[in-house]
Amino acid sequence: VDTFEGRITDIKTRYTLIRAGNGRQAIVPNESLITSRVENLTQADLKFNITTNIVVPYGSDVAQVQEILNSAARAQPRVMADPAPVTYLVNFAPDGLEFSLNFWVADPDKGQVNLRSDINIAILEGLHAAGIEIAGPRRAVRIESLPDGMLQGSMGHL
């Protein structure tokens, strides 16, 4: 409800108590449950999609990166085999190739961030083992002019 996710712990005449996985509790007016969009994960299809994105340098082997990402997800016991994890090349970003790993779980109530963290760590290890870096911002600096005499004394330092 209204970007707050958790388990309903109590329903009163005027409000409902919702407790998040991190212990936070929200008091939600019952009117909001009627007038706002509400997702009920216990009544929905238990295939819950989670994604993680990563950018690698241009020139990286696309098929190899996709396999590293998919393998990192498949190695986690909570990740469903059907549908299988899938990685897409989603963007030609300014700093490299952006991939999106999509995987599904049947138990979103056991946490999403913890699973995404485990998969991200496995991705880092897999990319490192393959000699593939994570792309970071790289900027070129163009110097159009320098004060007189500055270039002579610092030629060896530029």
The one-letter amino acid at 85: P
H or E element that contains 8: strand 7-11
Helix (H, G, I), strand (E, B) or coil at 84: coil
First to last CA, the chain: 56
Q: Is residue 136 exposed (0-12), middle (13-18) or buried (19+ Cβ within 10 Å)?
A: exposed
Residue 80 near residue 47 (C-beta atoms within 8 A)? yes
Phi-psi region of 65 (alpha: psi -120 to 50; beta: other; left: phi over 0): alpha
**Spatial separation of the C-alpha atoms in residues 50 and 122, rounded to whole Å:** 16
**Spatial separation of the C-alpha atoms in residues 59 and 96, rounded to whole Å:** 9
Mean pLDDT by 10 residues, the chain (158 residues): 82 90 85 83 73 96 98 97 97 95 91 94 98 85 78 55
Tally the residues of the chain. Answer: 158
H or E element that contains 128: helix 113-129
**Spatial separation of the C-alpha atoms in residues 82 and 108, rounded to whole Å:** 16
pLDDT of residue 139: 75
Q: What is the pTM of this model?
A: 0.66
pLDDT of residue 43: 59
